[in-house]
Structure 1
């Protein structure tokens, strides 16, 4: 294994490439890069565990991709696809057939909102929750590191258990977030694969030399019986997943279970969550238990289907009085959302069902922020005699009045021990790409870890972008927006009138503005409240005319190189001479296809 900074899509593609013969795709935000990345690796000479390049086929739509992945698996190929949102919805009819035929297909999904009253390209769980009845098993990852580790578990378990797996992770928060992680080598994966099961699967493939019957139509006399006959595969699957998790743990030293409990052993309040929200809750639990004297915990669900009832029951501390289940989806008209219903069912008619109060809430639809202050609001609501049930958190619901009040501003120890920066820019000015390059330089340096996350308007090119970069001496796990930045960059001068960008900067922090304004003009162009904040927070304020520098260098509107250089110089996290040399290497790697003169 080697330490490297990657985004969630690349982490999942790394494993999918190793353990698949074919990937049938149709690009969709936020996982469009996965197929392209796999193709580039194949052209560069990378080979999978079967000794060949992953064959990536782009179809005319997600419906075609689903049909093709079904056909490839029926023909004996280890097959995968990458999708999200409405694309996943188009695959549902084929998903029923794939699971019904017990084919070990793996879908990697960067889950995303569905188009309802409006389209949204951002993340939540509405798409994957619509697939619960398809027969696909479902495995959730909460971070970029987990995405790599559990993608491997997904492929191993699909082969071992003869069932398809939908491996999902947060669209945007995890799919595009860059983290410094341990990358698993292909040769280390090889011994974990049950190659006898692979050969058995291939022997069952459609073949004119030994024909078999598939896709028949059945009458009432046998359909029901045959549908129930699949139960044994699903009954056995949780143990198979745990076995595969144990194999990966023995290799990596990172332990996973079907559900993981974190927090006080005598917790009286516990939150149940999936994916990156569980990381936010874990970080907040540490803070509340240590600093506020709370007794709280979190249960992180990894295997969602089949729901691991026994493992869930065993994970609950005996002291728990109230459970809040957080769902990142909405099912209009339902009593509760899916995860909450599953938790209620798991505890129904047990010895503890009368002792534990269960409430459900919604959070994070369309990538709405979910941070430690909101977690505290949920725990505080749980302590009330009559808490809201259901509730929402993260919005101000002045229509149905279900939202919780969020009043605290929390900085956890994890946040205080990292260097944090926020960069405001316009799409296509190079800032997002430049931030990724800085993250690579720092995140791949010995003793340093980086996390880079990007949000932008649906316009993408020409709309606003906000790049957030965290740097620490330990792995950075904070899966929420920065609230206390050490460094804020405004890469477009007009944004001083659009964003309250200094609300989230620490006292004594660094503020860098890209503008053509002279010091005298600053008193006229900068809003009064911004000038007051600069003075009151004792900020170090710098200005650079990066647009003029970019124009002089023939970069057009791309200001990423001068602004990256400013960041590396002012922060000095790595000695500037060293970081400048690394930046020049990044420039060569990124722009060599344009020719030596451009570099």
Structure 2
């Protein structure tokens, strides 16, 4: 008899915390947006006495800074305790010195990262990949998930693989777009994951712990006679990581029925234009691929899961042989570089290959800049040109260096899903009410659901927009609601500040919450709203 599926309506942070709690004995934490709720969840569960896979209550220790948290992780690992932490942005940067030590000493660990922008010309709390790309040289393996369901399914893989490989992992998903997006997902159960733990590797990790009864020398200083050689001696450990990760991905497939690889291809078997990307944008690209292929085009996507170590053979096997044009999308910016990190890796994979496709690169989504199907269509249209533009941007109008691709009108690529948008004011209860609404739908109906809340960094008293979707199929729309069936405006002043009816579908519903009477309301509506209602 098939095991009954258990569903949970949660965000990406809760999904990651749910899995990390199972595999961890110690969590050394320091809060930073948007990762903070992961630590809050594990702290709450530990206080309630929840047991991990080992039948123990997780020990949670809050430190004085992210640097202190990373140092505590390092020390705890040396003492033989499976240890984790949760961070993002500048917090991750503060951990880099200890990350070099943890990786250099081959200590198995998992850092859960809700990837976020770095403070450059200004601070931003929103999501992109600048922080994790700044840590890619530390020796940590880098594993990406693209949706809340993927975070739930795949977060166990870094925990299992780090034990067997001795290479520490960053388990990465997009800040806000995945960390704070609420979805109805299938929940992973502890009893399904227990048999996957490599008990011999766990025993060996315990035996390597510092012990006064079995003294060893660690943390030495090496000179020019030996440092280089000992650095290279770690190569075999890194070379084994992709195969180990692939093994555990296959085990997850047996549990969930969802197939994942180091790289996943989605689209036409004979695609001539392919996008390479990682993170939440891959879900939006899948929607766009289905939409374009239904119209007779031949396009596809390669979604990256294991970014470091990068296994070129697995990547090349994933790209259709028919691909003539490739666009690589990076969610980071390295000023002055010849190209962004993923783009350069893809270029290197094809270097010297006969009949190699034309490869161009572009930047998207910095600081949670929304990335929509219309923008993805621009990328595929760029690839169809005789000379595709390289080093492009999407989602903005670049009137300084003119690198941006043309902005297109938004289109509804999923007509089956009901979409709603609610305009509110920070702390007016709109966001809280919509969170409750989507959880009621997710927990008490057979519908799939999604909620995402857009607000500025002022939060209380600032602009908020709640983006809700629900339908009969899993929802892949990792972007804001642009073509709603329903719009509610709870702040009448917004009528003159924002185009609140923009994109509202024909026959849609507009709800205005105001103090005006039915007879007087027409006197206060701007012309564009009147035009829509007419």
Would you say 1:67 and 2:71 are equivalent positions?
A: yes
* SS of equivalent residue, structure 1 residue 493: coil
**Corresponding residue for residue 339 of structure 2:** 336
Residue ranges of structure 1 left out of the alignment (5+ in a row) = 536-599
**Corresponding residue for residue 428 of structure 2:** 429
User: Is the radius of gyration larger for structure 1 or structure 2?
Assistant: 1
Distance 2:161 2:27 in 1: 18
* SS of equivalent residue, structure 2 residue 393: strand
**Corresponding residue for residue 457 of structure 1:** 456
Number of matched residues? 530
CA-CA distance at 1:198 after TM superposition: 1.1
* SS of equivalent residue, structure 2 residue 505: strand
Would you say 1:507 and 2:511 are equivalent positions?
A: no
**Corresponding residue for residue 319 of structure 1:** 322
TM-score by length of 1: 0.87
Distance 1:510 1:41 in 2: 41
Distance 1:238 1:407 in 2: 39
**Corresponding residue for residue 139 of structure 1:** 143
Would you say 1:104 and 2:108 are equivalent positions?
A: yes
Distance 2:235 2:485 in 1: 55
The within-5 A match list for 1:229-244 is: 229-244=233-248
Corresponding residue to 1:347 among 333, 339, 350? 350
CA-CA distance at 1:519 after TM superposition: 1.5
The within-5 A match list for 1:121-520 is: 121-291=125-295, 293-353=296-356, 356-412=357-413, 415-520=414-519
Distance 1:445 1:297 in 2: 36
* SS of equivalent residue, structure 1 residue 134: coil
CA-CA distance at 1:408 after TM superposition: 3.9
CA-CA distance at 1:176 after TM superposition: 0.1
CA-CA distance at 1:58 after TM superposition: 1.0
Distance 1:449 1:471 in 2: 5
Q: Deviations over 1:57-93 (max 9, x none)?
A: 1111111111111111111110111000000010001
Distance 2:245 2:92 in 1: 23
**Corresponding residue for residue 86 of structure 1:** 90
Corresponding residue to 2:25 among 11, 21, 25? 21
Distance 1:459 1:408 in 2: 30
CA-CA distance at 1:170 after TM superposition: 0.5
**Corresponding residue for residue 594 of structure 1:** none
CA-CA distance at 1:525 after TM superposition: 2.1
The answer to whether the Cα contact below 8 Å between 2:397 and 2:407 also exists between their aligned partners in 1 is no
Distance 1:478 1:288 in 2: 15
Q: Deviations over 1:143-185 (max 9, x none)?
A: 0010111111111111111110001000010000001100011
**Corresponding residue for residue 56 of structure 1:** 60
Distance 1:168 1:377 in 2: 27
CA-CA distance at 1:335 after TM superposition: 0.7
CA-CA distance at 1:407 after TM superposition: 2.3
CA-CA distance at 1:221 after TM superposition: 0.9
Higher helix share: 1
Distance 2:108 2:424 in 1: 44
CA-CA distance at 1:504 after TM superposition: 2.2
Distance 2:135 2:531 in 1: 52
* SS of equivalent residue, structure 2 residue 291: helix
* SS of equivalent residue, structure 2 residue 410: coil
Distance 1:22 1:430 in 2: 36
Distance 1:37 1:494 in 2: 37
Q: Deviations over 1:373-428 (max 9, x none)?
A: 1111101111111121111111000100110102243221xx21011000111111
TM-score by length of 2: 0.98
Distance 2:229 2:523 in 1: 79
* SS of equivalent residue, structure 1 residue 416: coil
* SS of equivalent residue, structure 1 residue 500: coil
CA-CA distance at 1:434 after TM superposition: 1.3
Distance 2:9 2:475 in 1: 11
Distance 2:306 2:471 in 1: 30
Distance 1:347 1:51 in 2: 48
